[in-house]
Chain A
Amino acid sequence: MASRGGQKIPTLQSSYLGYNARLMLEDNSLFQGIGFGYPCDLAGEVVFNTGMVGYTEALSDPSYRGQILCMTYPLIGNYGVPSKEIKDEYGLPKYFESENIQVKGLIIYELSDVASHWSCIKTIDQWLYDEEVPGICGVDTRELTKKLRVNGSMRGVLSVSKDDVLDKAKASKMMKSRRYGTYEGWNFLSEVSVTEPREYGDKNRDCIVLLDTGTKYSIIRNIIRIGYRVVCLPWNTGYQKIKAYKPKGVVISNGPGDPKVCKSTIETAVQLIDTATPTLGICLGNQILALAGGADTYKLKFGHRGQNKPCISLRNNHAFITSQNHGYGIDAKSLDKTDFETWFLNADDNTVEGIQHKTKPIIAVQFHPEASPGPYDCMFVFDEFKAIIDKYYESNDSNEDKLVSNPSSISSSVQKNLNRKKRRKIAKT
């Protein structure tokens, strides 16, 4: 009789009592909780993510380097952690975005004591322990999120211990120390980038160089999907070295921290623009391209982290639900004096979510078209990049104008967007 239900679903149950744990924020607020994962003390920038699924993808996203992540969704760990041995069709771990957990610490309301899924091989608690990352559960994460929303992202100290947690004085000292506490102005790229070139995909295909400022596996997946081989190069690789690979185009990846500290990548980007190399920037790559083009970036109050962020394409006024994870943004005004123009706008707060070069084959998005975690609605960005490359070489082969004309003019749609905003104002009143 029992065989009739189908296959057995792997189920793991953890039954441990938990450590002492406390989170202290810059504004001195304290959150008591139960510790899990690996007991230790650390400081970092506390940020929140509103996604309801995808903790394995999120925790392994290198953009979270240096940050303590709070999940607003209250139940974490339900489906456990899958094996890294499960690979996608390109040979990359299917459910992870890098080899390791990238967040410094994890803050949640409830740690699921049961992991149930056909793919799971360990609990999230065990995963964190194995990778020496601490976690705290039992926190009123909604209250914490509201604090971050009102005060902006804050530094915090997470203390998880079998015995006593750090007292206030020690925690506050740790928070202020440059070694542990600094986020802004810190260059994390050496921690997340490859140090040696790595190749992915079919060796016979044309190559795209991926400047690895902390790339997610899904960016590699998508570049292979659109028909290329990926050469992943360190974040500080210079233009000449890139050129040596004879790439059809360059992708500047996502990554952690303040874009302004990525000086050598910005320099490389300047040359990519100058040479009109087909380039796609994603997230940090978007900001780097903007800075290289002469625009400015700034730190958002509490960032955009979630899977439900609406963006509007100014080309055709179409709206897209995007996956986002960024703490910095492009200053919209500063784009005016550059050769870039806005491609996507955030429909909630009108921040810049994507740019395109007015004359050259260069596009960039602030959101994550590779999704993972999040919706797959914007994968077309990669296909668009391929189309740009194809068009570029088509016109190059026929020895015509080296510069690719803009994929589509947006001046009229900008006008439409203004109208849209006006309408919204009317709706508000």
Chain B
Amino acid sequence: MYSVPITTSYVEKVIEIERPDSILLGFGGQTALNCGVSLYRQDILKKYGIRVLGTQLKGIEITEDRQLFKSAMEKSDVPVLHSGVAYSLQESLNLVREIGYPVIIRVAYTLGGRGGGVAYNEYELQEIVQRGLSLSLAHQVLLERYVGHWKQIEYEVMRDNQGNSVTVCNMENILAMRVHTGDNIVIAPSQTLNNFEYHMLRSAALRATAYCNIVGECNIQFGLNPSSEEYCAIEINARLSRSSALASKATGYPLAYMAAKIALGYTLPELLNSITKVTTAYFEPSLDYVVVKMPRWDFRKFELVKRKLGSTMKSVGEVMAIGRNFEEVIQKAIRMCEIGKNGLVANDDGSSASDLENDVENIEQALLHPTDEIIFDVVRAMRAGMTIETVNQLSAIDPWFLIKIKNIITLEDRLRRSNIDEDLIKEAKKMGFSDNQVGKCWSIPETKVRGLRKKFGILPVIKQIDTLAAEWPAKTNYLYMTYGGNTDDIIVKKKEEKTAIVLGAGPYRVGSSVEFDWGTVNMVLSLKENGIKEVSIINCNPETVSTDYDISDRLFFEELTFERVMDIYEKINPTGIVTCVGGQTANTLTPMLANNGVNIIGTASVDVDRAEDRSKFGQLLDLLRIKQPAWKEFTDLSEAKKFVSTVGYPILVRPSYVLSGAAMKVVWGHEQLNQFLTEATHVSPDHPIVISKFLQDASEVEVDAVSNGDEVIIGSLIEHIDNAGIHSGDAMMCIPPWRLDRKTIETIADYSFQIGKALNIKGPFNIQYLVKEDEVSVIEANVRASRSMPFISKFMRLNLINLAAKAMTGNALPQKIKDHWLKSSGFGIKVPQFSFMQLEGADIVLSVEMQSTGEVACFGNSFYDALSKAYMAAGYSLPLSGSALVTVGGQKNKEKLLPLIQLISSMKYTIMATEHTAEFIERNNFKEIQRVYKLSEPRREPNISNLLYEHKIGFIINIPSTSTIEKYVGMLYDEYQIRRKAVEMGIPVLTTLESATSFIKTLEWLKRNTPTVDCLGGYMNI
């Protein structure tokens, strides 16, 4: 395993070392495919005599090049959309005469795709084209027939080298063509296509993929006119994609596995269906259920972000719900997203019908320009009395889906009007209502509905996913729960042996991603190793390994809600449930499960509570004589202000109720505190806030460890490269700590031992520390698997989850690894990956709220060896010459920056600076500072705008004054603009002093050194 950037040069180095015969390009998403194409174009594959397995590059190139694609489709007798390029209004008019209205206009060579639009008539065309031509640097606009209201249908195709092809699954995008499939609500199989349309598109898919000579798996997208049989092909992805993962889980057909076999030369008919184990893999799955994929967006985490959905994907995760009708799956899917909703209706945010009637214009706009709230906007529209036809015309959602949504609304109204009624509960459950929703309608608690339901015998049934609609017996236990049936497919008898359920982590989101799935999978495997006879998983994220049906003994592709977990628990009667590897999702369920008699395997719920309840944890630390930053909980504003006047600003404010924006904030002054507490949150006895002293210039250290109650084994200490104040998920981290002295390390280890034992932890835990001037204090302890555990486990070659499983099953912890953490050599560095590019408008300045959506880790012999590769892997460009733009807010920041300016200038970079910064630098005896002008002064040259466009800036140090004064007042808008433009142009922007320092020092190191390339074991001496 090589943990290196997926770039041509690094991959070539690995090829040089390993000398492989062949290479697979279709399994690592677009990154791997792009890398493969450039390896091919640079003749590197030829040079080393490497054969590409699976689809050949000729085919890949067809799917990646618009022009080749168009002609390939024409040759395959598959229509494509009419489009063209125009350089003037007249050319546009001529073009539209061929294309016809409506037409979509895209502006070429403009940042952020600004200036385009859809024209329905000549008047609108003139306006948009003229605006577009003036905005485009190349004075060019692209025109294409607009089909936003068409149905967006996808097929997953498997094809072997003999030309045997099947379509494994088709999918319908509920929000039609206008929203990217990654951000669309997707249902499989298609619901509104008749036999002719289904098979017409299927045949087109097979013709198109045969022409591209696909070998393995691919995805093809079509647009289908909702008013006729007219269709067009949109694109082909000649690789495993997000949709393929979804299709695999939706059907039980393991696409990646089969694609790998096919790449090796097997044919489909000679492979076996891995569910039945007797029939062939050459077949098309038949579903006797429906699935809905719902994206999870995290716009709330980003300031200034535009929430509109369109052709760029903005979601960070997804869930998949399985059931027997649309109403059931859509409500399940909404709950699975964990966005604070009970389902489609009966949420706490309901506004009255009369409010809505006055709001019709807003609702119309919302339907026309969908955001992440679209499905709830549809509900609002119906409540406001809009007809199905109107909603369909505005939203392009097929009436079939709209009426199903209406069914749910109608049932909610009926529930609210009626008394407790057995038949109505039955009906509600079939329509996907949770006990919670039913309870809301009748003003009774969830648990009471559960009690009633059990009394009436209204229980869900377990159904299997078997790829063949029960035609053949299934050998796997890929399961879901539904009220759409009377009989369980499997019956589990209570066993003598120990059995367990492991709760997964739900959808990927900012703050919880694949790292918790790693924990879930490793926990399942390790429990089996440690004597648990049968282990089941509950999870609902189709992108994960834990939802591969061959990982666990039973996979429940289900909601991680109290209701559903209890349903499953009562059906299969396990010895206990593991909640410590599923991140916050699973953790939150622990107390309620424990209170309802569920045996929690691992740390007891009361002990988890002792860590999570701030005052209990504070008392514990006091008892252990371990420090923590001063903090207090408040229920009114004046008390809070008194406290702040004693500890002084800055402070960290954590409200328990959030109106808008981020939940946590560093506050620097009185006015800001007032504003935050009135605009963003409430303070009341029901909604207290916690205020703690914020330590500036402190470094942050984390410990990942495992305890069995008697002994604590430390996995490693990890030091943040950034100072405290940046969320640990967004911070760059290093193992081993490289700036801490021995005494501090010992103190931290000692505290960790003490806390682990005092909390009686049985399983994994993570403690975050602050270190300032040799003083160590504790921020918090999380009694569960942490985000950094896979990183540590990989680098240290010590699987912490495996150790945790031992501790949790009462097995002894191995003694010889106790000092393992002290013995590491080499460096491992983890760098977060952000998606700011995709999130139009989002500001990239980091804060106490996490914003990253992924991470990379690279290893090296030295700190900078590891860091340089990690930067590259995360997509930073590392320019070794050129210009650096420096714009810094606030006097204090400017002063702190001087040593770095010195370094940059000694490295022969041209320094560009805006007026005030330039003046300051020059006053401090630096020469040849190139003055540049702000975006808000577009007439003054040289302007930052042009320099960015022309790629004349190598990297930007932009430390906003946020850290000292109020954020986003008018004067700071300009800095925000610079950061945004830079992100869109792919230019590195460093927004803190520490990140700037480590970046510049990496460049300095790179000028004299070359990063090493070695497999993971090569950096380890253990």
Contact = CB atoms under 8 A, between A and B. Distances in A.
Contacts of A309: 283
Interface string A337-377: 00000000001110000000000000000000001111111
A199 interface: no
Nearest to A146: B470
A423 B270 contact: yes
A116 B398 contact: yes
A4 B393 contact: yes
Contacts of B193: 53, 79
A321 B289 contact: no
A202 B489 CA distance: 54
A114 B485 contact: no
Contact of B471 (A78, A306, A373): A306
Interface string B213-232: 00000000000011110000
A116 B401 CA distance: 9
Interface stretch (A37-45, A68-76, A262-270, A390-398): A68-76
A427 B271 contact: yes
B400 A52 contact: no
A375 B290 contact: no
B287 A52 contact: yes
A319 interface: yes
A50 interface: yes
Identify the interface centre among A11, A149, A318: most chain B CB within 10 Å of its CB.
Answer: A11
A79 B403 contact: no
A21 to B, nearest CB: 15
B268 A319 contact: yes
Query: For chain B, which range describes its interface: under 10, 10 to 19, 20 to 34, or 35 or more residues?
Result: 35 or more
A375 B202 contact: yes
A113 B190 CA distance: 17
A140 B461 CA distance: 11
B784 interface: no
A315 interface: no
Given A6-B149, A117-B194, A319-B268, A73 B364 contact: no
A116 B280 CA distance: 36
A427 B270 contact: yes
Contacts of A115: 400
A391 to B, nearest CB: 25
Interface stretch (B160-168, B876-884, B954-962): B160-168
A50 B284 CA distance: 11
B456 interface: no
Contacts of A317: 162, 269
B191 A110 contact: no
Contacts of A372: 195-196
Interface residues of A, number: 70
B272 interface: yes
A377 B461 CA distance: 37
Nearest to B407: A113
B282 A149 contact: no
Contacts of B470: 72, 142, 145-146, 149
Contacts of A13: 403
Contact of B288 (A2, A8, A73, A318): A73
Interface in A384-429: 420, 423-424, 427-428
B321 to A, nearest CB: 14
A2 B391 CA distance: 9
Interface string B169-210: 000000000000000000001111111101100110010000
Contacts of A3: 393
B684 interface: no
B120 A4 contact: yes
A110 B286 contact: no
Contacts of A348: 278-280, 283, 472
Contact of B392 (A9, A371, A373): A9
B1001 interface: no
A420 B269 contact: yes
A169 B202 CA distance: 48
B610 interface: no
B639 to A, nearest CB: 52
B286 A54 contact: no
B399 interface: yes
A336 interface: no
B396 interface: yes
A9 B287 contact: no
A377 B200 CA distance: 11
Contacts of B392: 5, 8-9
Contact of B468 (A6, A50, A54, A116): A50
Interface in A95-130: 95, 109-110, 112-119
B71 interface: no
Identify the interface centre among A52, A73, A110, A116: most chain B CB within 10 Å of its CB.
Answer: A52
Given A2-B393, A310-B280, A321-B166, A424 B285 contact: no
A143 B195 contact: no
Nearest to B286: A50
B153 to A, nearest CB: 12
B191 A78 contact: yes
B591 interface: no
A114 B394 contact: no
B191 A75 contact: yes
A423 B265 CA distance: 14
Contacts of B697: none
A307 interface: yes
A141 interface: yes
Interface string A271-299: 00000000000000000000000000000
Contact of B486 (A140, A310, A318): A140
A74 B227 contact: no
20 contacts: A4-B120, A6-B149, A7-B227, A9-B227, A9-B392, A11-B388, A50-B288, A53-B189, A54-B194, A114-B399, A114-B403, A142-B288, A142-B489, A149-B471, A309-B283, A318-B163, A348-B280, A373-B195, A420-B269, A424-B270
Interface of B: 102, 120, 149-150, 162-164, 166, 189-196, 198-199, 202-203, 206, 225-228, 267-272, 277-280, 282-290, 324-326, 364, 368, 388-390, 392-396, 398-400, 403-404, 407, 461, 463, 468-473, 484-487, 489
The 8 A-B pairs of least Cβ separation, nearest first, read A54-B195, A5-B393, A72-B469, A116-B400, A308-B284, A50-B286, A114-B403, A145-B470
Interface of A: 1-9, 11, 13, 48, 50-54, 56-57, 72-75, 78-79, 82, 94-95, 109-110, 112-119, 140-143, 145-146, 149, 306-310, 312, 317-319, 321, 347-349, 371-377, 420, 423-424, 427-428
